[in-house]
Chain A
Amino acid sequence: MTTNLDTLMPCHEVVALLWEYLDGELDDAMRARIREHLDHCHHCTDHFTFEGAFLRTVTRVIDEPCETGALRQRILTALREEGHERTRK
């Protein structure tokens, strides 16, 4: 199937939806239109690739394991005390 280049979204409209596209916030029809543009525009493809790498960096760095074993015990103890208080009232 060939694409009519005249019907492609212009670059500025595609870039305006950059983050929504990368965040999966767009509906299927709009995603398809943007993908179609990216298939034909290496400038926008490079830009989206660049920002996608940025988002992966953010996720990788912030998404550090959060050790919560001791905190879990502390909360459970407090919850059980709370539950005990409730049954006494």
Chain B
Amino acid sequence: MELADSTLHPPPDPTVEAFERDALVFLPNVARYARLLTRDSADADDLTQETFLRAYEAWASFRPGSDCRKWLFTICRNLYLRNRQRSQRFVAVDDADGELKATRQMYFHAREQGCKDLFDRIDLGPALQKGLDSLLPEYREVVVLIDIEDCSYAAAAEALNVPIGTVRSRLFRARRLLQQCLMEYAEDLGFLRPTEAQPSQGGARQ
């Protein structure tokens, strides 16, 4: 999508200044994405720099007016996967409907205990950070793209080069796992009584 068709679109201005104006403007987005992928600030800075250098190398092929931010996310992710040699890693088969059911059970659990306003009532920041750390990158990245970068499911699918159904099921699973972390944290603090058995496999580091 982003590649230039030289017969229809003139190539972008090749100067560093133009690249700075049109691509480097997304540095905060890419840097945050890289940090959430790597969970290490030095690795993230290296990955971010590599992303922009790689994008600049291919800048003549970029079609002006197309979604540069999405293109940068794609480059960043591909470099990350290559660096970590994770492209063939196993990812649990997802079941979006099952995830929704599990999420609904957690809501019922909170409601039964009069905690419908749980998320507004206590500071869940520490638990959420811990939950994010525990997610596999494949799950964390959909949360970042959709919940933080406000991508549509289709845009995230394109950036990640996976079917939209995969984005959907990974997102639902990631949210279920994060919500489970928050509920457990609330239980530890005594805001909720412990649940009986809750699903916990798949998508989280054990």
* Residues on A facing B (Cβ under 8 Å): 15-16, 18-20, 23-25, 46-47, 49-51, 53-59, 61-64, 66, 68, 71-72, 74-76, 78-80, 82-83
Contact = CB atoms under 8 A, between A and B. Distances in A.
B179 interface: yes
B24 A75 contact: yes
Q: Which of A24, A46, A79 gathers most chain B CB within 10 Å? A: A79
A68 B31 contact: yes
Give the bracket for the number of chain B residues in contact with chain A.
35 or more
A23 B53 contact: no
Interface of B: 15-16, 19-20, 24, 27-28, 31-32, 35-36, 45, 48-49, 52-53, 56-57, 97, 100, 103-104, 107, 110-111, 116-120, 124-125, 128-129, 132, 143-144, 146-148, 152-153, 168, 171-172, 175, 178-179, 182
Interface of B is mostly: helix
Contact of A54 (B16, B132, B144, B179): B179
Given A54-B175, A58-B143, A75-B27, 11 more contacts: A16-B100, A18-B100, A19-B168, A24-B152, A50-B111, A53-B117, A53-B119, A58-B175, A74-B45, A75-B24, A75-B48
A50 B16 contact: no
A82 B56 contact: yes
Nearest to A24: B152
Contacts of B32: 64, 66
Nearest to A23: B146
A64 B31 CA distance: 12
A47 B147 CA distance: 19
A76 B20 contact: yes
Contact of A50 (B28, B52, B116): B116
